[in-house]
Amino acid sequence: MPKYKLRDREDLASLLAKDPLLAKDLALLKALRRLAAAAGKTNADGDLAYYEIQLAIENLRHRFLREDRIRQAAKAMASAPPPSSSPTSAPLVTIQRLVRIKAHELGIVDRRSKTRHAAWRATLKRDFPLDEAKREVRQNTDQTPVEKRAVEIVRGAQRKAKKNFVEKEAVRLADAVLADWPPPAGLRGRPTGRGTIVVDPETKDLKLSAREIIEAVLPIIEGLAGPNSSSAPDSAMIAAVVAVVRAATTEAKPKDKKIKAAGTAARKKLNAERAAEIVRELQRRRPIR
C-alpha cells in the first residue's frame, strides 16, 4: 500500500481511483468508510484509519526485518568460536601471568601485596617484561612449584587424589584463576518473531501472513468501529479486516498447471468466516482488564 497525501483538498477516494494499480487500496478505503458510517462517524475518520493501517503494516515489516538481521548476526557470532574462550586454548604466558597475579592476591608469593592493584603492579614489569624486539610478553621461567602446578591445572591437567602442601596450594590458586575466567561467548536467547523471511520478488516487500496483518491492524479497526463492533462474518468490521489483508498482500502471477504432490493443498484467499475466526481468537488472547 503506497503512502499518499492529499493535495489541494482532493478527496482520497478520487486520488486512489486515478491509478488502476491501487484498486485494492480503493476497496480498503471504501470498506473503512462504510465501517465509519455504521459507527456514526465521518469519511475523515475512515481516511485517518487508512493512513494508520498503512503505518502499522510498514512498521510490522520493518520489525520483522530488524529481528531477522539480529538473528543472523547472533547466529554468525555463535558459529565463530571466540579466541581464547577456554583456559586450554589461551597462550601459556597468559596463564602464567594470571597465576602470578592471583598468587600475589592470595599472599602465596608476597604476603604484603594482597590487593588486585598491587598484584598487577608487581607482575607488570618485574615478572613478565615486554620483549621490545618481538613485541610480546616474555615467559617467566622463575616460577615456584605451586605456580607451575597451578598453571598445569588451569590448562586441564588432572588433579591428584592425594594432596600434599604444593598440590593443595596449587588447587586453591588454580580455582581462584578459573573463577575469574570469563565464560565463553554464545548465543544468549533469540529475538522473538518470525523464523523465516520471505520477500516478494516483484515488490521487494516482506510477505506477511493474514494473521500477522490482522493482529497489527485490529486495534485500529476496532477503534473506528467503536463500542458496537461486531466480529460476525457479515459485519462491516470483518469486511474491513478482509479488505486490509487483500490490500496488504501481493497475489502471485498465474503459473502453468502442474500435478500436485500428495498431501499438498492450494492456498485459499482469506474469506469473511476465516477472518472472523482469527479476530475472535486474537480477542480471546487479550489480557482481561
Q: Which tens digit of pLDDT belongs to each residue from 116-130?
A: 555 555 555 566 556
pLDDT reported for residue 256: 46
Closest to 18 in 3D by CA, of 10, 53, 130: 10
Contacts of 128 (CB under 8 A, 6+ apart): 93, 96, 97, 100, 137, 138, 139, 140
What does the DSSP 8-state code read for residue 269?
P
Instruction: Report H helices in the chain.
Output: 12-17, 23-38, 43-79, 92-106, 116-122, 145-154, 165-179, 210-225, 236-248, 272-284
- Arithmetic mean of pLDDT, 165-192: 76
pLDDT reported for residue 136: 59
Distance CA 228, CA 222 (A): 9
Q: Hunting for cell 608476597 — which residue is that?
A: 110
Closest to 125 in 3D by CA, of 145, 97, 146, 102: 97
Instruction: Report H helices in 155-209.
Output: 165-179
The alpha carbon dihedral of 230, 233, 237, 241 has a sign of positive
φ and ψ of 270, to 5 deg = -70, 125
What does the DSSP 8-state code read for residue 21?
G
Residue 68's pLDDT band, with cuts at 50, 70 and 90, is confident
* Boundaries of every domain in the chain: 12-78+197-250+272-284, 87-179
φ and ψ of 131, to 5 deg = -80, 105
- Arithmetic mean of pLDDT, 197-203: 60
The alpha carbon dihedral of 164, 165, 169, 170 has a sign of negative
Cα–Cα separations (whole angstroms), residue 174 to 89, 92, 139, 160? 16, 14, 18, 13
| pLDDT exceeds 50 at position 106 | yes
pLDDT reported for residue 244: 92
Distance CA 46, CA 80 (A): 52
| pLDDT exceeds 70 at position 163 | yes
Are the C-beta atoms of residues 149 and 170 closer than 8 Å to each other?
yes
Distance CA 116, CA 97 (A): 13
pLDDT reported for residue 273: 92
- Arithmetic mean of pLDDT, 240-262: 64
**Would the pTM of this model clear 0.75, i.e. be above it?**
no
